[in-house]
C-alpha cells in the first residue's frame, strides 16, 4: 500500500521490480510456484513486492485465460422477501467461504428474462450456477447445457439437472394440520371453511396444494375445489382474491393456507381496507417464515424453509462430478404463532 500510483500493479510491473519473469511472478502469486520449483527466496521477494504495491490480480484476465472466473451465480425470482433474501445471505456466506465471489441476480419470474440473465452470467464465465425458483427450469437448462455450465435447481425442480427442494408436500401437510387443529379448538369446522390462497401452476404450488387437500380430506372429510384459490405470486392479485371472497361471504374463511409470504402481503393489503372485526377469529398458515408475520394479531402458523441447508446441499451436488439428475428434499419446519427465530444475521458479529 506504499504505492500511491494511479494504475494497478500487474505481474509485469512486479516482474521488472523483482528481476524475474512474468510467469514466475504469476506462479508465485497464484500458488502454483511449488509445482514450478521456484526458490523460496524468490517467492518471498515477489510476495513482498506484491503487497508493498498492493497488487491484486486482474480477475478478468485470469478468467479469460483459464475460462473460469471465480464467480458463482444465484438466480432468484425476487430479492424483496425474507425467504429469498435469507437464501441470498446464506449463499453469499457459503460462496465467500470457498474463496469465490457470489453474484446474485433476480429475473422476476419471467422465463425470457431468466434465459437472458443466465446468458449474461455465462458471458462472464461464471463457474457454477444456483437456480432458485426458475419459472422455466428446462429453458434455462438448455442455455446452461450449451455453455457447459454446471448448475443446480433450488426450490423448484427441473427434470434435467439435480435439484434441491423443500419438502413442499410434507410441509403443507404440517401446516394444514396445524391450521385445522387450531380452528377445531373453537368448535367444529366444515371443510368449506378452510381455504388455500396463492401460488400458481408450478411444482411447489402443486405439491403444497396436494398436501393441503390430503390433510383436509383426512381431517375434515371433505375438500371442495372452490376452496383452492391460486392467485399467482403477487400481493395485488392475492388481495383481490380476499376481496372477492369477502364480497361473497361478508367475512374471511375460518382458516386458510397462504402459499407464500408474498401472498401474505396480499392479506395485509386486504386488512388495511377493513376494520379489525373482519378478521377477529381467523387462523392463518403461511408457507414461508417472516419474523413479523409471526406476530400478527391472529394466529399465524408458518413454515420455515431451510435455505441454508438447501444451499449447502446444492454445493455438495455440484461437487460430486456428474451425478445423475436427482431431487433432494429438505425438510422444512413448522413455526407456531408468535415465534422469533434467529437467522443468518445472528452469525454476524456486532460489537458496539
Residue 269 interaction partner, one of DNA, its own copies, none, beta carbon < 5-8 Å per kind = its own copies
Per-residue binder mask for DNA (CB under 7 A), 5-24, x = binder = --xx-xxx------xxxxxx
Phi-psi region of 148 (alpha: psi -120 to 50; beta: other; left: phi over 0): left
Q: 3-class DSSP state for residue 190?
A: coil
Among 16, 44, 108, 280, binds its own copies (CB under 8 A): 108
Tell me how far CA of residue 167 lies from CA of 88, 262, 307, in angstroms: 20, 19, 12
Q: CA 190, CA 186: separation in Å to the nearest integer? A: 12
Q: If binding is defined by CB under 8 A, does position 179 make contact with its own copies?
A: no
Q: If binding is defined by CB under 8 A, does position 186 make contact with its own copies?
A: no
Give the shortest CB-121-to-its own copies separation in angstroms.
8
| 327 secondary structure, DSSP code | E
Strand segments, DSSP code E, in the chain are 71-76, 101-106, 128-132, 150-154, 163-166, 194-197, 228-229, 255-258, 283-286, 300-304, 327-330, 333-335
The rounded radius of gyration (Å) of the Cα atoms in the chain is 26
Q: CA 149, CA 8: separation in Å to the nearest integer? A: 31
Closest by CA position to 113, among listed 153, 73, 77: 77
Q: Nearer Cβ to DNA, position 12 or 295? A: 12
Q: If binding is defined by CB under 7 A, does position 236 make contact with DNA?
A: no
Among 47, 150, 160, 200, binds its own copies (CB under 8 A): 200
Give the shortest CB-28-to-its own copies separation in angstroms.
17
Among 190, 295, 326, 333, binds its own copies (CB under 8 A): 295
Q: Nearer Cβ to its own copies, position 22 or 343? A: 343
Give the shortest CB-52-to-DNA separation in angstroms.
15
Per-residue binder mask for its own copies (CB under 8 A), 67-96, x = binder = --x-x------xxxxx-xxx-xx--x----
Report residue 275 as a C-alpha cell: 376494520
Give the shortest CB-297-to-its own copies separation in angstroms.
4
| Residues between 58 and 77 that touch DNA (CB under 7 A) | 58, 61-62, 64-67
Neighbours of 19 (CB within 10 A): 10
Give the shortest CB-46-to-DNA separation in angstroms.
10
Residues in the site for DNA, rule: CB under 7 A? Answer: 7-8, 10-12, 19-24, 26-27, 29-30, 32, 36-39, 41-42, 55, 57-58, 61-62, 64-67
Amino acid at each position: 500500500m506504499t504505492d500511491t500510483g494511479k494504475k494497478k500493479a500487474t505481474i509485469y510491473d512486479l516482474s521488472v521490480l523483482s528481476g524475474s519473469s512474468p510467469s514466475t511472478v504469476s506462479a508465485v502469486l497464484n500458488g502454483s510456484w511449488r509445482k514450478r520449483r521456484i526458490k523460496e527466496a524468490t517467492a518471498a521477494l515477489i510476495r513482498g513486492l506484491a503487497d508493498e504495491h498492493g497488487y491484486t490480480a486482474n480477475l478478468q484476465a485470469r478468467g479469460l485465460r483459464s475460462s473460469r472466473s471465480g464467480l458463482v451465480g444465484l438466480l432468484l425470482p425476487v430479492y424483496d422477501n425474507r425467504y429469498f433474501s435469507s437464501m441470498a445471505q446464506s449463499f453469499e456466506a457459503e460462496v465467500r467461504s470457498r474463496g469465490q465471489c457470489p453474484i446474485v441476480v433476480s429475473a422476476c419470474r419471467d422465463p425470457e428474462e431468466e434465459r437472458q440473465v443466465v446468458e449474461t452470467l455465462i458471458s462472464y464465465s461464471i463457474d457454477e450456477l444456483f437456480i432458485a425458483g426458475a419459472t422455466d427450469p428446462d429453458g434455462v437448462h438448455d442455455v446452461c447445457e450449451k455453455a457447459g455450465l454446471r448448475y443446480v435447481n433450488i426450490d423448484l425442480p427441473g427434470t434435467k439437472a439435480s435439484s434441491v427442494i423443500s419438502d413442499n408436500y410434507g410441509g403443507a401437510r404440517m401446516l394444514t394440520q396445524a391450521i385445522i387443529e387450531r380452528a377445531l379448538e373453537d368448535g367444529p369446522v366444515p371443510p368449506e371453511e378452510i381455504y388455500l390462497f396463492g401460488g400458481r401452476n408450478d411444482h411447489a404450488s402443486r405439491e403444497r396444494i396436494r398436501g393441503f387437500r390430503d390433510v383436509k380430506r383426512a381431517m375434515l372429510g371433505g375438500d371442495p375445489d372452490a376452496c383452492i384459490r391460486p392467485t399467482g405470486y403477487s400481493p395485488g392479485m392475492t388481495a383481490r382474491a380476499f376481496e372477492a371472497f369477502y364480497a361473497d361471504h361478508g367475512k374471511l374463511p375460518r382458516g386458510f393456507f397462504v402459499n407464500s409470504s408474498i401472498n401474505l402481503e396480499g392479506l395485509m393489503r386486504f386488512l388495511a381496507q377493513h376494520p379489525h372485526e373482519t378478521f377477529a377469529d381467523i387462523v392463518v398458515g403461511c408457507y414461508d417464515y417472516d419474523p413479523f408475520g409471526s406476530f400478527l394479531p391472529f394466529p399465524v402458523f408458518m413454515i420455515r424453509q431451510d435455505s441454508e441447508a438447501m444451499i449447502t446441499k446444492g454445493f455438495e451436488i455440484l461437487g460430486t462430478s456428474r451425478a445423475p439428475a436427482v431431487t433432494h428434499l429438505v425438510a422444512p419446519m413448522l413455526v407456531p404463532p408468535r415465534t422469533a427465530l434467529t437467522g443468518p444475521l445472528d452469525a454476524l458479529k456486532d460489537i458496539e
